[in-house]
Amino acid sequence: MSTKGNSKENGEDPLIRSFSVDHPEQPPIHIAELPTPVVEALRTTGRDVNHIQLAVKSDLGPDGQFGEQWLLMDQHELLVLDRPNGRAYQRHQFKLDDIEDAKIERCVGNGLMQVTVGQQPHVLLHYSNDLTDRFGRVAHYLQERAEHGPETPVPNPNDDSHVCLNCGRYLADPSSKVCPSCIQSGKILKRLVMQAKPYWGAVGLILLLLVGGALVNLIPPRLTGVLIDDVLSEGGRPELLLWLVLGLLAIRVTDVGFTIVKNWLTINVSGKFTAGLRDDLFTHLKGLPVDYFDNNQTGRIMTRINQDTSELQGLFSQMTTFALNLLMVLGIGIALFSMSPALGLYVLIPTPFVMAAAYYYYRYMRPHFRRFWVARWRLNAMLNTFLSGVRVVKAFAQENQEQARYQQRNSQMLNSQLQVNLAWGKFFPLISFAFSAGGLIIWYAGGRAVLANEITVGMLMAFIGYLGMFYGPLSNLTHVTQAMNRFVTISQRTFELLDEPVQAQPERPVSKPEIAGSIRFDHVTFGYDPYYPVISDVSFDIKPGEMVGLVGHSGAGKTTLVNLLCRFYDVTRGAILIDGVDIRDLSMNEIRQQVGMVLQSPYLFRGTLAENIAYGNPEATYAEIVRAAKAANAHDFITAMPEGYDTIVGEGGSGLSGGERQRISIARAVLHNPRILILDEATSSVDTETERQIQEALNELVKGRTTIAIAHRLSTLHNADRILVLNEGKLEEQGTPKELMKHQGAFYNLVQMQSQMARIDGSTANL
């Protein structure tokens, strides 16, 4: 990791400056540059700023008020400096090797970081919640260092997702990882070319057709010249007229033929290429770990896969137009100069102006374009959120607010679009004017040359013909940079998704076609953020065929624990073993075939009920589906529906009640017939009678399989072989229900609480 801790004499706030968009010349910032007082404080204590490996700024002072403190680390020490009123002094100093543990804690409105030294906790500093991630990374590093020693790589705690990965500047468009100025166009284009390898032949053919088309188009003005000079003039050869006209016709026909074939090829190649890319993206997407989907908005992923690729397709066609235009400009330029070098020069007079104007136009427009893209993305994201939350919006009567937000974003998009288009609307007539003025020069200079008998009228007409074809493609070429920018930006985003690391799969998975079903959690620690353990140091064994109840307060980590077993997430520390094999050494497919899950919030896909039940086994017969539905006590309500098993449910299962959805998902698990069955609150949304019936069905189902059942209603677990009690991510108790009741510990208290509630409700809780 690079070390930079040089002082800045101007005293600006370095963090704010490093996030500013207007400093493209700045070098990459991995460590926030230190302000002068901090550097001086380091010097006076005899330390070298160049040895600082990590520097994180807090926005709160030691008193918890707004202020500034710095957490610094060199190879041996951890320091905390306070910087009140332009001075800095050291508040804490610890040897890294003495630090036994480190953690951050969330408080109301702010957080604090704490280290343990000599078994004594020391609060280092406070910070506002915005900085949680940064200090969390430092704490995580210190924990790792305490465990694995000084070799632990030092992280870059200031690396936030909303800043450019390359230069650390603030990202205007958060759907990309690097800022537009850090995109390496060359590399991306090369990769795009490699990606298009199967189409190289077709692209070569397109290029040939383009060259052919350009050449063919160069002929007619020449023929016009011949027509005027040799056929229509006095003493000309009128018998050539028909031949010339036929020649022109043949040229047009050839041109049309070339264009049709070229268009056909372009449409096919660009369509197939982008469809292939979409396939690749989806293939990649499905292999991404669940936390990618936790962290990325659905709308954003959809934009990348659908919108970006179709835009890429459009740009692809635009590129062929550019290539044609470039060829035309070159060809016509050569033709003009070969006819009359002097007149050729006149043609070039407006060219530099046009090019310069175009250059400045796009430089000026670039931020406007970007603003427009971001506005469009935000509008999409907002619509997406609205659509997925429409019921909440209506329930809380927030339609008007949502509408206001939509209108606001829509008008932002309109404004940025107007800016782009209005600027273009001004620019384009000006360019056209420059071109037509160029044409007038030729009329004048060419006319004089004709009068002076230097060139023929036919030549002048040919010249003017070429001129008409010259400026059009030239002005079109001024789009090139814009289109190229867009092309590269979109490709970059597409590649970013393709480069997103997929969940690690073992290279040579251990094959376990038939598992017995023993489960072992071996000192498992896990956090959705690695520095916030949700499960800490949990160890237990489950024997094959055992039925285990998992209980605990809401948020204790029960769902998380079973998610780990399915490898939706990977453990941070420790290991999970199925039949003695680390699940990271089993193939993902095998795990999911052997482990069946009834999710806490079951999801049904749009389709018939039968299809939904058979989701995991599409080849299941109708009889099997019905048997599974009967086992889950779903058969009766299904047949009561007019369309029975062919009833179509909406996305997410709309059209069914919560309990019905649960029963469908139980039926799905029954049909899946796994060795290990996980029931996460499988009967939470049904009434007591239905619950009893499902329970009976489940009792059948769990026979001979390892089962982990999570339940809030403890009464449903009375026939569990064993109960595990989870509390704040830690395993608090385990034993048979009887033992635990006798022991009068956590489980006993939970049961007591529930039976009191039940007495108040007047309902029954039979534990």
Ligand X SMILES: Nc1ncnc2c1ncn2[C@@H]1O[C@H](COP(=O)(O)OP(=O)(O)OP(=O)(O)O)[C@@H](O)[C@H]1O
**Binds 552, which of ligand X, Mg ion, none (CB < 5 to 8 A, cut-off by type)?**
ligand X
How far CA 102 is from CA of 43, 92, 105, in Å, comes to: 27, 14, 10
Number of H helices, E strands in the chain: 24, 19
Residue 406 CA to residue 279 CA, distance in Å, equals: 32
Q: CB atoms < 10 A from the CB of 449, how many?
A: 19
Which is nearer to Mg ion, 176 or 559 (by Cβ)? 559
34 secondary structure, DSSP code:
P
Q: How far is the CB of 294 from ligand X (least distance, A)?
A: 4
Q: Which is nearer to ligand X, 412 or 727 (CB)?
A: 727
Return the number of the residue (400 or 554) whose C-beta is nearest ligand X.
554
Q: Which helix (H) or strand (E) holds 392?
A: helix 390-395
| Site track 589-628 with Mg ion (rule: CB under 5 A), x = hit | -----------x----------------------------
| Least distance in angstroms from the C-beta of 534 to ligand X | 4
Q: Which residues of 265-287 are buried (b: 16+ CB within 10 A; e: fewer)?
A: bbeebbeebbeebbeebeeebee
350-388 vs 399-451: helix crossing angle, rounded to 10: 160
Partner interacting with residue 667 (select from Mg ion, ligand X, none; CB below 5-8 Å by kind) = none
- List the beta strands (DSSP E) in 96-165: 99-106, 110-117, 120-128
Q: Which residue has the tokens 């309990």?
A: 659
| Nearest-approach distance from CB 582 to Mg ion, in angstroms | 25
Nearer to Mg ion, 143 or 559 (CB): 559
For residues 281 and 710, which CB has a smaller minimum distance to ligand X in the complex? Answer: 710
- Binders of Mg ion among residues 370 to 399 (CB under 5 A) are none
As a whole number of angstroms, the distance between CA 244 and CA 109 comes to 85
Structure-block tokens of residue 411: 């008008």
Q: Residue 591: what are its φ and ψ, rounded to 5°?
A: -55, -45
Whose Cβ is closer to Mg ion: residue 315's or residue 669's? 669
Residue 534 interacts, among ligand X, Mg ion, none and using kind-specific CB cut-offs from 5 to 8 Å, with: ligand X
Q: Which of ligand X, Mg ion, none sits in contact with 560, Cβ below 5 to 8 A by type?
A: ligand X
Starting at the edge strand that comes first in sequence, how are the strands of the sheet with 581-582 ordered?
Answer: 535-542, 519-526, 573-578, 581-582
- Residue 573: contacted member of ligand X, Mg ion, none (CB under 5 to 8 Å, by partner type): none
* 3-state SS, one letter per residue, for 301-319: HHHHHHHHHHHHHHHHHHH
541 binds, among Mg ion, ligand X, none (CB under 5 to 8 A by kind): none
Q: Which of residues 495 and 532 has its CB atom nearest to Mg ion in the complex?
A: 532
Work out how close the CB of 732 gets to ligand X at its nearest, in angstroms, rounded to a whole number: 13
Q: Identify what 555 binds: ligand X, Mg ion, none; CB under 5 to 8 Å per kind.
A: ligand X
Nearer to ligand X, 64 or 555 (CB): 555
Residue 14 interacting partner from Mg ion, ligand X, none (CB closer than 5 to 8 Å by kind) = none
CA angle 567/558/554 to nearest 5° reads 145
Count CB neighbours of 594 within 10 A.
21
Distance CA 709, CA 676 (A): 11
The vertex-310 CA angle with 169 and 427, nearest 5°, equals 65
Nearer to ligand X, 7 or 560 (CB): 560
CB of 554 to ligand X, least distance (A): 3
Q: Closest distance between ligand X and the C-beta of residue 180, in Å? A: 31
Least separation in angstroms between residue 559's CB and Mg ion is 3
To ligand X, the closest distance from the beta carbon of 726 in angstroms equals 7
Q: Mark the segment that binds Mg ion (CB under 5 A) among 87-95, 555-563, 616-624, 733-741.
A: 555-563
Q: Which does 217 bind (CB under 5 to 8 A by kind): ligand X, Mg ion, none?
A: none
- Decide whether 292 or 528 has the Cβ nearer to ligand X: 528
CB of 280 to ligand X, least distance (A): 27
CB of 30 to ligand X, least distance (A): 27
Name which of 440, 486, 168 is nearest 319 in CA terms.
Answer: 486
Cβ closest to ligand X, residue 460 vs residue 711:
711
Concatenating the DSSP letter of every residue in 589-627 gives: HHHHHHEEEE-SS----SEEHHHHHTTT-TT--HHHHHH
Residue 554 CB, nearest approach to Mg ion (Å): 7
What does the block give as tokens for 635? 């058969």
Q: Among residues 297 and 476, whose Cβ is nearest to ligand X?
A: 297
Intra-chain end-to-end CA distance of the chain, in Å: 59
Among ligand X, Mg ion, none, partner that 170 touches (CB below 5 to 8 angstroms by kind)? none
Size of the site for Mg ion (CB under 5 A): 2
Binding mask 208-227 for Mg ion (x = CB under 5 A): --------------------
When the beta carbons of 198 and 555 are compared against Mg ion, the nearer one is: 555
Q: Which helix (H) or strand (E) holds 399?
A: helix 399-451
Buried b (16+ CB within 10 A) or exposed e, 456-469: bebbbbbbbbbbeb
Which ranges constitute the DSSP H helices of 91-181? 132-148
CB of 3 to ligand X, least distance (A): 33
Distance (Å, rounded) from C-alpha 416 to C-alpha 365? 11
* Close Cβ partners of 127 (under 8 Å, ≥ 6 residues apart): 58, 59, 60, 110, 111, 112, 113, 134, 135
- Nearer Cβ to ligand X, position 215 or 285? 285
Residue placing its CB nearer to ligand X in the complex, 54 or 724: 724
CB of 729 to Mg ion, least distance (A): 13
Q: How far is the CB of 600 from Mg ion (least distance, A)?
A: 5
What are the contacts of 92-97 at 24+ separation with CB within 8 A? 92/122, 92/124, 92/125, 94/122, 96/142, 96/145, 96/150, 97/150
Which residues share a beta bridge with 281? none
Q: Structure tokens of 289? A: 């770990």
When CB distances are held under 5 to 8 angstroms depending on the partner's kind, the choice from ligand X, Mg ion, none that residue 263 binds is none
Instruction: Report in angstroms how near the CB of residue 393 gets to ligand X at its nearest.
Output: 23
- Tell me the closest approach of the beta carbon of residue 71 to ligand X, in angstroms: 25
Binding residues for ligand X (CB under 6 A): 294, 528, 534, 552, 554-560, 600
Residue 5 contact, options Mg ion, ligand X, none, Cβ 5-8 Å cut-off depending on partner type: none
User: Please, are residues 733 and 743 in contact by the beta-carbon 8 Å criterion?
Assistant: yes
Q: Which residue among 158, 559, 706, 715 contacts Mg ion (CB under 5 A)?
A: 559
Closer to ligand X by Cβ: residue 51 or 713: 713
Residue 406 interacting entry, from ligand X, Mg ion, none, C-beta within 5 to 8 Å by type: none
Q: Dihedrals φ, ψ of 765, to 5°?
A: -135, 115
Residue nearest to Mg ion (CB): 559
C-alpha dihedral (552, 555, 558, 561), degrees to nearest 10: -140
* Positions that interact with Mg ion (CB under 5 A): 559, 600
